[in-house]
Amino acid sequence: MRFIVFILNILEIIGNIGAFLFIPIIFKFIFHRKEWHLYYRSIFSSVIVACTIHTLSSVVIYTIIFHVNKIPVLGENFELTHVYSLARYFLKGSCGTVRICLWILVIERTVATVKKKNYELHHNYIVAVILFIIPFAYGYNMDNIGHFWPFYRNNYVKFCIAFDCLTLLVLIILWLLNRKLHQLHHVKVLTLSEKFQISENIRLAKLSLPVTILFILDNYTFNIIFSISMLTPEEDEFLTLLNYGSLAYCYAGFFIFVLYQYKEKISLQFPIGRNKVVNLSNNDVSSKNNDNSQKHDKTQVIKMKNANNKLVPMDYDQKSYFNVYANSW
């Protein structure tokens, strides 16, 4: 058992570190996605922040497990108890945050589909901030919600499964519906705004599907195991951490998918020296100084003709130019 725990800890740490390495790239990627709607970017950013918290908390937890050489159970005293409990709190909250982000993403895309005629005109930064905060407010207050709402606490697993399945179903319907609208745009007269919104709905729904499917399948599998098994506290904690850790591979796969979908928009130029760049598209190495000198060497001649098809002199000095400009009025 200890050997299995050791191997799984190694795999979990590798997965979380791998996912964490993608996060700066994804943040930069989101920053440059100006074509995304403000609300979608806000919710998507919440997902990435939650993934960041998830990976860092997981690394702390698995490092402590290596240190104490056992699976700690919440409530018992051991070395680094407070650090473990705090990391466990952030880890659990990050998963709840990602779940509510997926729900809100589907709602946002549903509204975008319904209001496709003028949805791009809705840009309220206060709403964007609220959409960013709401997932964290839910994710890190699940225990408080369960305390005040016993039905939620007693049926949390069923509640999550039902809403996750509904989320996936609605997202697939939105994707298919917008694809259908896109195919019919030659028959039905659509405005430019509608065409743009339909294209964005297809792209963003397709972008949201992988993380939704992976997240739901991962949690659904472990929820079934929890519901049919009689586990000791240590086994329950082990499976819970395994569930959280496996999500890191889901996130890493999602990051790779996102970058692959937008590979044509990712810059292929990287600096290799003070004044040189490499263009990966044609393996050409050029000097910025040479480019600038070539630009200055090129002269552009502007020719204008009057109504009699005669060239209009363009070599005026400044005073003559203003005289001509004044007389033209």
The string of pLDDT tens digits covering residues 114-135 is 888 888 788 889 999 999 999 9
Residue 144, in any domain of the structure: yes
Q: Once rounded to an integer, what is the mean pLDDT over residues 230-257?
A: 83
Q: Which residues constitute the domain of residue 228? A: 1-269
Bridge partner residues of 285 (DSSP): 278
Mean pLDDT over each residue of the chain, to the nearest integer: 77
d(CA 249, CA 254): 8
Residue 278, in any domain of the structure: no
pLDDT band at 52 (very low <50, low <70, confident <90, very high): very high
Q: Tens digits of per-residue pLDDT, 245-282?
A: 888 888 888 888 888 887 776 654 344 444 444 444 44
Residue 313, in any domain of the structure: no
Cβ neighbour number for residue 61 with a 10 Å cutoff: 25
Number of domains in the chain: 1
Q: Tens digits of per-residue pLDDT, 87-108?
A: 889 998 998 899 899 889 888 8
Distances (CA, A) of 255 to 24, 47, 190, 250, 268: 11, 11, 33, 9, 18
Here the tokens at position 221 are: 């599998």
Q: Which residue has the higher pLDDT, 249 or 287?
A: 249
Please report, as a single letter, which amino acid is at residue 43: I
Nearest to residue 12, comparing CAs of 74, 59, 48, 57?
A: 59
Residue 263 CB contacts under 8 Å (≥ 6 apart), including other chains: none
Residue 253, in any domain of the structure: yes
Q: Which residue has the higher pLDDT, 2 or 204?
A: 204
Kindly report the CATH number assigned to the domain that includes residue 71.
1.20.1070.10
d(CA 270, CA 223): 45
d(CA 49, CA 136): 10
Cβ neighbour number for residue 9 with a 10 Å cutoff: 19
Residue 24, in any domain of the structure: yes
